[in-house]
Structure 1
Amino acid sequence: MRDRLLQLIAFLILAGFVGVLFWRVPRVDLGFLFFITLAAAGYDFFLYNRRRR
């Protein structure tokens, strides 16, 4: 349970960092890159937890 909580906190920190960076540099191409980064991290987060069960 603690591992999942730490993973969630790390994902939220990554999302916050990417969100602030996109807010300060609002470009469409960077937006796509940030979306792909968050999607890959979210996919890894959910895939890793499913495989362990």
Structure 2
Amino acid sequence: MNRLLALIAFLALAAFVLVLVIEVPSPDLIVVATLTIAMVAYDFVTSSGKPRG
């Protein structure tokens, strides 16, 4: 259930950033948005797996 909620939150953030990039197509903004989504995706993959310990 936690993984599903994390996925929904990730998709909501990605959709928001995508709308921002589409409305303001600045190269700097595109780079920052891409890095942001990459870091969030990395965090999603590494922290929403099986619990440790």
Do the structures match in fold with TM over 0.5?
yes
Q: Deviations over 1:14-52 (max 9, x none)?
A: 000000000000011100000000000000000102362
In structure 2, what is the equivalent of residue 45 of structure 1?
44
How many percent identity over aligned positions? 46
TM-score (structure 2 length as normaliser): 0.90
Greater RCO between the two (CA within 8 Å, min separation 6)? 2
Deviation at 1:3, TM superposition (A): 0.3
TM-score (structure 1 length as normaliser): 0.90
User: SS at the partner of 1:50?
Assistant: coil
Higher helix share: 1
**Number of aligned residue pairs:** 52
Considering only aligned residues, what root-mean-square deviation do their CA atoms show, in Å?
Answer: 1.3
Q: Could you tell me which runs of 5 or more consecutive residues in structure 1 were left unpaired when the two chains were aligned.
A: none
